[in-house]
Structure 1
């Protein structure tokens, strides 16, 4: 089994690239796990209290469960990956069943920030995009799919996301096995990324 870690800042295009690879490869070959499924479940807090939490800091991630699930996949066992609600900031009662496959793609902003998780990756790829590019993509996504408004998205990006990115994400760029430039939005980048993954899994 090859476990490929795909990290990059919020809005860098990780999910789009991973979904392109999922469509490119046979479903018999690849499974995908998102870090977003492993946010801690603060079900004892009120909604207002959950909204004030910093979801861009490593403390927001349930790394114990994340590492345990990856090890289970390595051992040939299927897992029940949590489903996380962005609107409620809570885990759902449902889950996604993930099966062990020859290739497992793991994507997220903070997957390189935890040594025990990072050491499970066969290969590490950093998705690189400029701050203004990431903000533009973040605005489009959060307004359209997560019910946020323009000022809310911009304020959070500048006050929380960018400082956390510079502290916990960007430093891992130079220590990654591959750096993939994802500043452009043209379709050709999807093919280039699929070609990179093809090379890694041969």
Structure 2
């Protein structure tokens, strides 16, 4: 019997909105299913040919910062039940590492990232499109906490990046993609009702496709 096509869930929102928390909450509720969370950040452009100063000057919140051609290609391969070699991004070096990660096609793919709904090709591969809507003040606080602890950035560099690129790009490119969402989740991971509803919908799609739950 032919293998069923994976269910693709797109989860987007501004930096620090809680989209990663929502993604992992869905993952936890679907325990027992084969799942893969893919982040758009993994597909930042390879910048190995650039100097460190040039890399730091890149606007990482602009659609052109991402290699969406590769992301689309590999997501489509997974949808057709083909394994991929996914890039690995090094945040400290502002470019891809030389390593890749082997990913087998799962039953459920959660694609999360700030600009996944900006590209029509990616939108067309998604079964469910989710926008996590969180206040600007909360998002900047979360970003400071995350980038200092997980990415080794100074508070000065985080605030400078937020004011010069993150906030303006959010209002120019990210927030407008809300109109493409099937579901808008206020306050991210704290909205348990929305997360439970999402998990129920994913189960329904899996059952319709003949997956065992």
TM range, smaller chain: over 0.9
Q: 1:42 aligns with which of 42, 47, 63?
A: 47
Residue in 2 aligned with 1:11?
16
Residue in 1 aligned with 2:199?
198
Residue in 2 aligned with 1:141?
146
Residue in 2 aligned with 1:112?
117
How many residue pairs get aligned? The number is: 198
Provide the rounded CA distance (Å) in 2 between the counterparts of 1:108 and 1:75. Answer: 22
Could you tell me the TM-score, scaled by structure 2's length? 0.88
Residue in 2 aligned with 1:55?
60
Q: 3-state DSSP class of the match of 1:110?
A: coil
2:33·2:108 contact (CA, 8 Å) conserved in 1? no
Matched, 1:132 2:137: yes
Deviation at 1:193, TM superposition (A): 4.5
Deviation at 1:198, TM superposition (A): 1.5
Deviation at 1:99, TM superposition (A): 2.0
Residue in 1 aligned with 2:155?
150
Q: Kindly tell me: are residues 69 and 27 of structure 1, through their superposed partners in 2, closer, same or farther at Cα, counting changes over 3 Å? A: farther
The equivalences for 1:169-180 within 5 A come to: 169-180=174-185
Provide the rounded CA distance (Å) in 2 between the counterparts of 1:161 and 1:103. Answer: 30
Provide the rounded CA distance (Å) in 2 between the counterparts of 1:178 and 1:194. Answer: 10
2:85·2:102 contact (CA, 8 Å) conserved in 1? yes
Query: Which runs of 5 or more structure 2 residues have no equivalent in the other structure?
Result: 1-5, 205-213
Residue in 1 aligned with 2:76?
71
Deviation at 1:174, TM superposition (A): 2.8
Greater Rg over alpha carbons, structure: 2
Provide the rounded CA distance (Å) in 1 between the counterparts of 2:200 and 2:27. Answer: 15
2:117·2:180 contact (CA, 8 Å) conserved in 1? no
2:16·2:142 contact (CA, 8 Å) conserved in 1? yes
1:85·1:92 contact (CA, 8 Å) conserved in 2? yes
2:29·2:199 contact (CA, 8 Å) conserved in 1? no
The RMSD of aligned alpha carbons is 1.5
Matched, 1:165 2:182: no
Deviation at 1:19, TM superposition (A): 1.8
Q: 3-state DSSP class of the match of 2:20?
A: helix
Q: 3-state DSSP class of the match of 1:104?
A: strand
Instruction: Tell me the alpha carbon deviations over residues 157-188 of structure 1, each in whole angstroms, 9 at most, x when there is no partner.
Output: 111101101111101113310000116x75xx
Provide the rounded CA distance (Å) in 2 between the counterparts of 1:29 and 1:97. Answer: 15
1:126·1:180 contact (CA, 8 Å) conserved in 2? yes
